[in-house]
Structure 1
Amino acid sequence: MAVSPSGFGPLLRAWRDRLSPADAGFTATPGRRALGLRREEVAQLAGLSVEYVLRLEQGRARNPSAQVVGALARALQLSRGERDQLYRSAGLLPPRDGTVDTHVPPGVQRLVARLGDVPIGVFAADWTLVWWNPLWSALVGDAALLPVAERNLARALFGDGIARAAMLDISSERGQDAFEASIVADLKDAVARYPADAGLDALVRDLMATSETFARHWATRTAAVQHATDRKTVRHPVVGDILLDCDVLLVPGADLRMVTYTAATGTADADRLDLLRVGGVGASRA
């Protein structure tokens, strides 16, 4: 079904105009004329080209994919109802109940944008990265450079594609085997709760076929501890090794995990994290 110029484009423009740059993680500079987000900022947040966003707004680009619409909905911090309206205006069915939800509530996005001194990544139940802030990119790499399908922690750990090649060397204090087992345990839990999710089923099948380690963890009958608090060493190519506390926070009312990295004030690790923060890279993205 084609996109109606009187539907998708006007919605995109109206919701872009109403979103505060500060709430999206941008600094409003003096003399800024746009009250809301600029097109290039929406494009940056959604991982799209500015030209494509312009063509969508003007109705010259038709039939955007579900991935594109979902990325725009997150970039514009839409409510669930508004997200569904955007999908329908694009001639698409909104995400069904009973599938892994990648919707990030606006309040969570504002929180991630404003906590600029803490690296934060927001993950769906299948460990797909759906939102992150600039310091997260500076610490572990900019996920916007990866195809959407590769922005998944399980693919980075066990796959043989771009995600694995791009993953930094990060070691867990609990040991790599325990960390890998905890991610597989989370996926098992997700499969039990979302048996109709085709994407999750495809993820598990792919990893079963390509990774003996994943298959071994999946086959074990011993209950593994799901991924939560840990201490990790990030071997960063610019500032060197950084030992950080890694905490996984659940978002009430949404099946999302917020992963944070912090270091104690006054430590060499905190200083290295500050170096990354001062350097800065990009804005939070979807």
Structure 2
Amino acid sequence: MSTHTELGTALRAWRGRIGPADVGLLAGSNRRVPGLRREELAVLAGISVDYLVQLEQGRAANPSPQVLGAFAHALRLNAVDRELLYRLAGAVVPPSGSVPCEVPPGVQRMIDRMSDTPLAVFTAAWDVVQWNPLWGELFGSPAALDPRANNLIWGHFAAPAPAPAGASRIERDAAHADAFERMMVSDLRRAADRYPDDRAVGELIDGLREANPRFAHLWNRYETVPMGRSHKTVIHAELGALVLDCDILTIERADLHIVLNWAAPGTGAAEKLSLLRERVANAAR
């Protein structure tokens, strides 16, 4: 299938999942199929119905950036789908605004069901969005930190002020620290590429380059490292050392990262996590 035909298929699929009410149109009672009609999308995008038909059938190519922008707005495309739209049209993806921080309802339901795992949600630029009580018991509440320290990459590289009393600290051996740092810098570069007009991301990167030579070195390597598992030791203020593995679940449509921490079954770390779970359960009663 050519990209021209794929563009048409994608437009039809996106048109089919947007209801008239979603874009402020009245839905009549005689609608036989869900979604927007071609006539409705054409009006919203400011093009002729005939041109839309040609695009959907693969008989027209290279729609202008203005038309693509109108499609993205009318079809309520998220950042991932918007990038796909431009790629299928053979166009350069323009800046896409600010890094999103909204947790979709479906993702929130999934997070709520994982209450027995220390879990936090971060934006594409690694600002914390939310955390569950078990994360707060393990690491300390991010609400007690300086706002900039709530960025995971800043907190690691920028030598923040001492953590509040009772907070945990994280230790990694040299190999795991190197892998973690390369992974995080690479992912921050991906966020900067996706959101080049987000001033906060640019200021974060400039601050990190100034604050930490190691970050500046890694940033200048332009290295591409996939997201993966990391390994660390958490020194809890009361329970001592917990050796944990960390997995990162990326929610592409919302452009969020969910960070989860695990302890190997039958270990002292697993027993200590159980104690923290009991503390959270007792606090909720």
Aligned match of 2:102: 103
Give TM-score, length-normalised by structure 2. Answer: 0.59
| Higher RCO (CA-CA < 8 Å; seq separation 6+) | 1
Give 1:123-272 correspondences, 5 Å limit.
123-162=122-161, 168-171=169-172, 174-221=175-222, 223-272=223-272
Larger Rg: 2
Q: Distance in 1 between matches of 2:245 and 2:100?
A: 27
164 and 272 in structure 1: CA distance in 2 versus 1, 3 angstrom threshold:
closer
Structure 2 counterpart of 1:280:
280
Question: CA distance change for structure 1 residues 283 and 157 in 2, over 3 Å: closer, same or farther?
Answer: farther
Shift of 1:148: 3.1
Q: CA deviation at 1:172?
A: 5.8
In structure 2, the CA distance between the partners of 1:283 and 1:106, relative to structure 1 (3 Å rule), is farther
| 1:219, distance to aligned residue in structure 2 (A) | 1.3
The letter of the residue matching 2:136 is S
- Distance in 1 (CA, whole Å) between partners of 2:191 and 2:283 is 29
Kindly state the Cα deviation for residue 98 of structure 1 after the two structures are TM-superposed. 2.5
Contact 2:176 2:232 in 1 (8 A): no
The one-letter code sitting in structure 1 at the alignment partner of 2:126 is W
TM-align CA RMSD: 2.8
- Residues 157-179 of structure 1: CA distance to partner in whole angstroms, max 9, x if unpaired? 11143487866123268421221
Contact 2:180 2:230 survives alignment (8 Å) = no
Q: Deviations over 1:237-256 (max 9, x none)?
A: 21121122211111141101
- Native 8 Å contact 2:121 2:129 kept in 1: yes
Indicate if the aligned counterparts of 1:125 and 1:255 stay in contact, CA closer than 8 A: yes
Instruction: Give distance in 2, aligned partners of 1:183 and 1:155.
Output: 10
* Cα separation, partners in 2 of 1:124 and 1:281, compared to 1, 3 Å: farther
Deviation of the 1:124 alpha carbon: 0.5
The aligned length equals 189
Tell me, yes or no, if the aligned pair for 2:96 and 2:194 is still in contact at 8 Å. Answer: no
Question: Counterparts of 1:167 and 1:238 in 2: how far apart (Å)?
Answer: 9
Q: 5+ residue gaps in structure 2?
A: 1-75, 77-94
Cα offsets for 1:98-145 (capped at 9, x unmatched): 221111112222332332210111111111111110111111121011
Q: Could you tell me whether the CA contact under 8 Å between 2:168 and 2:235 is conserved in 1?
A: no
Which stretch has the larger CA shift, 158-167 or 168-177?
A: 158-167
Name structure 1 gaps, 5 residues minimum: 1-79, 81-95
TM-aligned CA deviation for residue 236 of structure 1: 1.6
- In structure 2, what is the Cα distance between the partners aligned to 1:211 and 1:241? 27
Describe the SS at the equivalent of 2:116.
coil
What SS class does the counterpart of residue 136 from structure 1 fall into? helix
Deviation string, structure 1 residues 6-64 (Cα, Å, up to 9, x no partner): xxxxxxxxxxxxxxxxxxxxxxxxxxxxxxxxxxxxxxxxxxxxxxxxxxxxxxxxxxx
Aligned counterparts, 1:7-86, within 5 A = none
Q: Distance in 1 between matches of 2:139 and 2:213?
A: 25
Distance (Å, rounded) in 2 between the aligned partners of 1:257 and 1:246: 12
Letter in 2 for 1:242: L
Return the letter of the residue paired with 2:98: T
Conserved? CA contact 1:152–1:163, under 8 Å = no
1:229 deviation in Å?
A: 1.2
State the AA in 2 paired with 1:276. Answer: L
- Percent identity of equivalent pairs: 39
Instruction: Determine if contact 2:171/2:232 at 8 Å carries over to the other structure.
Output: yes
